[in-house]
Amino acid sequence: MAFIASPGGSPKGARVVISGTLTVHPDGAAGIRTNLLETMGADFRSGAEQRRYGGVLQIVPRGAATVLPVNVLPIEDYLKGVVPAEMPAYWGVEALKAQAVAARTYALRKILLGGSGDFDLEGNEFDQAYGGLTESRPTTDDAVSATEGQVLTSGGHLIDALYTSSDGGHSENSEYGFIHWNHGLRPAASLPYLRGIVDPLDQAPGWQVGPLSPADAATILRDNGDDLGDRLNGIDILQTGPSGRVLGVRLRGSSASEEVSGPYLRFLFSLPDTLVTIAGGP
């Protein structure tokens, strides 16, 4: 399929059926300008902010009148749209270079693991924020160029280069970052390069959820499929991680009790973090 200049334009009502992937190539260094919506399940929507992208744009039919736009470009060009989207471009050069190395490592490891079929990486917090040429800045371009090809390894393998915008004053060990709780802690993999440390420069702001009455708390549980009775009488903290974050709790209802993970507790009550003190209740 191709787009061809036509002085008279296309006749009204003309339709083109896309049966395979459509590839759009840029005409010059300005790249491709589109209103690509950078969210999971990306699509085209009127009114979305226009952005510019390098490389090529593939439009993949997904059925039910939807398409998946995929930006395909070299890894170093991709990083020039990631670093300024993940870190302010006015930050120090060494910080920007560290971000470039972390982002490159994360992306290459994800690509080697196989991606997600039609694409390798999401352009948002599911993987890494990506703004294309629109986000590109000289300082971050320089940081990417200065670290070209540099990655982080452990034992000869690319590390899982996870990073975050905020850690609330203390990061967490990898085994406690992605846990399951089933009659006790089921930790994730313990990675020697992902250890929790104190971060005095990132103190989380104070917050509070509640107070909730025992009946209201029980209703929240019941609405999420956890019927422990008409009252939640208490929450017992069973285990915390090195950062102090809650790993597991016991929910004591008026007719039953249940043990759940800290992350699930956070989901139930819409908590900003599991670095929390639970007050009230017998």
Mean pLDDT of the chain: 81
Which regions of the chain are under pLDDT 50?
Answer: 1-6, 30-47
User: In this structure, are residues 77 and 54 in contact, taking their beta carbons and an 8 Å threshold?
Assistant: yes
Tens-place pLDDT, residues 182-238: 667 788 888 999 999 998 888 777 788 888 999 999 999 999 999 999 999 999 999
DSSP H helical segments within 114-228, as ranges?
132-135, 138-146, 174-177, 214-223
Q: Which tokens hold the place of 150? A: 């540099």
- What is the structure's pLDDT at 8? 54
Tens-place pLDDT, residues 249-261: 999 999 999 999 9
- What is the structure's pLDDT at 135? 86
- What is the structure's pLDDT at 38? 42
DSSP state, 80?
A: H
Spell out the domain ranges in the chain. 22-72
C-alpha span between 126 and 122 (Å, rounded) = 6
- What is the structure's pLDDT at 49? 56
